[in-house]
Amino acid sequence: MNTDVLIIGQGISGTWLSFYLEKNGIDYFVIDQENPHTASRQAGGLINPVTGRNKVKTWLADQLLPFCMTAYQQIGDYLGIAVVESKAIIECFTNPEAAALFSRRVKENPQYLEIPNANPIQLNLFQNCKELGLIKPALVVNVPLLLSQWRAKLRGLGKIGEYNFDLNHLIETDKGFKYQHISCKRIIFCDGATIQERNISTSIPLAPTKGEALILKIKGLPSSYVYKNKLTLLPLAETDYWWVGSSYEWAFEHTRPTSLFKEQTVLALEKWLAIPFEVIEQRAAVRMGTMERRPLVGFDSPEKKWGLLNGMGTKGCSLAPYFASQLVENMIQGSAIDPEANCTRFQ
């Protein structure tokens, strides 16, 4: 089989890269052994314009929010499903200091932050909640639905091989690469944390982090909002089901869920929620990022034979479509990739 681009991985990055290649009529083939425990498949799917306790604007927020809303609507229309919703985030303040800090940030970023004139929810849903702040717009992506439906589309198109990729069997040729029965002009790695196992580039300061989350059942909490305190509560597609998380661990002994995270999260929820909840499931995964928290996008040489779309960290849902589009435009038109994301910055 001959193809233009061989994509390794069908997480959020591989999904978007193959979508834009499909949209532009560039032939491709994806290799991915389905694994429910990858970071993409465990993600909550929140795209938040501000970050951290200080509520500073996230990198590229002004470009990413409108781009992502359009992109997710486009891929949803292509698949005949809805995969994204715009929701406000309700920040619950349990102390005056946090409320005062948020008020100061409202003056700096009024397009994203707001103190509501009237409370949009009942404060007695939460314990010790004195005031509320709003973060909007924020986007919530149904990542499991998107990945499963795009995978089904790839199957229908005959453009996915559902098996593990073994770098030892990749052979470079004058025209590109050969892998088993596949000949390609380019290969692009979108395989998240698996990049560590491939030893592809020792010059890139990779920084994997482990994240854990719980799936809860909560009756009576309005699902029209996302809720934040120290934790983030995201509504899932199934009625009364919520995602709560996540941790951010630089050092970890294993990639499995831990009892410590569950105990600490349940304790924090008991101090925050004033209504009952039930723990349904615990999840854990390793995200791939870099030390300076910027993605890895681009090709290793002007010939554009070997490329990366990886290292999205905690912001894969927002960064993957944006940089997949940039990467495809770079392939077609030679247009620039953001220098802060271009993987050649380490050369």
The region of weakest confidence among 34-38, 185-189, 329-333 is 34-38
Angle at CA of residue 142, ends 86 and 116, nearest 5°: 25
Do 244 and 233 meet the contact criterion of CB atoms below 8 Å apart? Answer: yes
Judge: domain 86-140+207-287, CATH 2.40.30.20: no
pLDDT confidence of residue 321: 98
pLDDT confidence of residue 227: 97
Asked whether the predicted pLDDT for residue 173 surpasses 90, the reply is: yes
| Stretch 296-312: mean pLDDT | 93
Distance CA 293, CA 286 (A): 15
The CATH 3.50.50.60 portion of the chain extends over: 2-42+144-204+291-346
Do 234 and 140 meet the contact criterion of CB atoms below 8 Å apart? Answer: yes
At the top level of CATH, the class of 2-42+144-204+291-346 is: alpha beta
Asked whether the predicted pLDDT for residue 54 surpasses 90, the reply is: no
Confidence of residue 205 (pLDDT cuts 50, 70, 90): confident
Helical (H) or strand (E) element with 163: none
pLDDT confidence of residue 202: 63
Collapsing DSSP states into helix, strand and coil, what is residue 20?
Answer: helix
Asked whether the predicted pLDDT for residue 346 surpasses 90, the reply is: no
Report the percent of the chain where pLDDT is more than 90: 87
The CATH 3.30.9.10 portion of the chain extends over: 86-140+207-287
| Stretch 262-284: mean pLDDT | 97
pLDDT confidence of residue 95: 87
Question: Residue 36: exposed, middle, or buried by beta-carbon count in 10 A (0-12, 13-18, 19+)?
Answer: exposed
**pTM recorded for the entire structure:** 0.96
